[in-house]
Amino acid sequence: MNKHTKQREAILRFLRGTYSHPTADQIYDEVRKEIPNISKGTVYRNLKVLQEMGLISELNLNGTVSRFEVKQESHYHFRCEKCGRVLDIGEPVDKELDRRVALRTGLKIHHHQLEFQGLCHDCQHE
Ligand SMILES: [Zn+2]
Ligand SMILES: [Zn+2]
């Protein structure tokens, strides 16, 4: 396995094993434990490549810092306003909404993203 493949594999493995939607910096901190001499620039570059390969997706909502996850069927997210954690919401994606908007506007809609905001379980009990 060459160096580049090894770096990409390490990033993918971490993303496959987490539900936390980490930021690029968090991914860097984690991958560095395995590949100590990896640079931040390399991690950023690899995230881009993995995205282009269709293996991971970037969540960038409301102008906040980008977070990453393994590519999966489209789903909604919840962001805690207090601790900033991002959770997957097991709510069916409303494909009808795409159709309705497309019909009304004449725009070609591929998908939509939705982010719920509020307090996570932990933060509600503080
Ligand atoms: Zn919270
Ligand atoms: Zn997600």
65-124 per-position pLDDT tens digit: 889 999 888 889 999 999 989 999 988 899 999 999 999 999 999 888 888 999 999 999
Nearest to 22 by CA among 112, 91, 115, 84: 84
- Give me the pLDDT at residue 36, please: 95
Nearest ligand, CA 122: 1
**Ligand 2 centroid to residue 5 C-alpha, Å:** 25
β-pairing verdict for 56-59 and 115-118: unpaired
**20 lies in the same domain as 37:** yes
Give me the CATH number covering residue 85.
3.30.1490.190
**91 lies in the same domain as 58:** no
Give the predicted TM-score (pTM) of the model: 0.81
**43 lies in the same domain as 90:** no
**104 lies in the same domain as 86:** yes
Residue 62 has pLDDT above 70, yes or no: no
Residue 103 belongs to what domain range? 76-124
Q: Which residue has the tokens 């390490």?
A: 10
**Ligand 2 centroid to residue 21 C-alpha, Å:** 7
Amino acid making up residue 4: H
**63 lies in the same domain as 22:** yes
